[in-house]
Amino acid sequence: MKFNYLFFVYLFSLSSIFAQDISFIPRQTSITDTMGKEIVFTIDVTNISSIPQTVFLVRSQSNIPANWSSSLCLDFCFPSYIDSVATTPDFGSSPFQPGETREVSLHVYTSSTEPGQGVIQLKAGTFRNPNQTIVVEFTASTFNPSSAEYESIIQDFKLEQNYPNPFSAKGESTSGVNPGTTISWKSPISSHQSIKLFNSLGQEIETITEGFYEAGNHSLLYKPTKDLPSGIYFYQLRIGNYVTTRKMNVEK
């Protein structure tokens, strides 16, 4: 692929005469996970102007351990040595249309042999208005799941008993319990987290929730998407290498 490095010289030589053309909204700015994991920061970029915009993304600072690396993804993911990308044909991309939103991402590749922390700064802007950039810092951290430190961290994970329990999976139960139940949990780290439901045979029924959650306390109202028979079920919380399971009772 041919890369036009001269366009960045041109880019920053232009004067700033227009208002900001894009919004740049990270879904997360700090993620902690186990060693060796690929940590992915996702950002929603939107053209908030009334004309097409050529958007650029620059890795302006990278303070990460020597055995880590990172890459930028803007329509395509690029090698770690590419610090600047844009929505131009040179990068296999095209301008943002008015109102268009795309996902861009920063991928951090961590060491599997030792924990660490890295901070990467990204700048985003448009060719029309290159001097008005949006600047965001992203922090990636890893821990050793077999270390004493992790043993301390793991004490702060908690999956609460669902309430009410038992509960009705559909409609009113014979005991008058309203359908649905609340599931609460606590995580000391910001990371990808999931809760899945299993039957008494260990077969997965459905995913209750899955996605990125900040560190802290969380809760949700679970209403099964399927008509579950009465009986015993298990809901399992998974956060990195941490897994814990609780039992719930469903009644008609």
User: What does the pLDDT look like over 1-60, one tens digit per residue?
Assistant: 444 444 444 444 433 334 489 999 988 888 888 889 899 999 999 999 999 999 999 999
| CA–CA gap between residue 97 and residue 48 (Å, rounded) | 9
pLDDT digits over 15-30, tens only?
333 448 999 998 888 8
pLDDT digits over 119-128, tens only?
999 999 999 9
Pick the closest to residue 105 from 212, 21, 187 (CA basis).
212
pLDDT at 1: 45
pLDDT at 13: 41
pLDDT at 162: 93
pLDDT at 85: 96
pLDDT at 148: 61
- Kindly report each contact of residues 62-67 with a partner whose C-beta sits within 8 Å and lies 24 or more positions away, as own/partner: 62/118, 62/120, 62/121, 63/118, 63/119, 63/120, 64/108, 64/116, 64/118, 64/119, 64/120, 64/140, 65/111, 65/114, 65/116, 65/117, 65/118, 67/111, 67/113, 67/114
pLDDT at 150: 60
pLDDT at 149: 60
pLDDT at 94: 96
| CA–CA gap between residue 34 and residue 110 (Å, rounded) | 9
| CA–CA gap between residue 72 and residue 83 (Å, rounded) | 8
Pick the closest to residue 115 from 142, 153, 140 (CA basis).
142
pLDDT at 147: 63
pLDDT at 243: 84
- Would you call 12 helix, strand, or coil by DSSP? helix
| Positions of the chain with pLDDT under 70 | 1-19, 147-155, 170-178
pLDDT at 178: 60
Q: What is the mean pLDDT of the chain?
A: 85
Over pLDDT 90: what percentage of the chain? 55
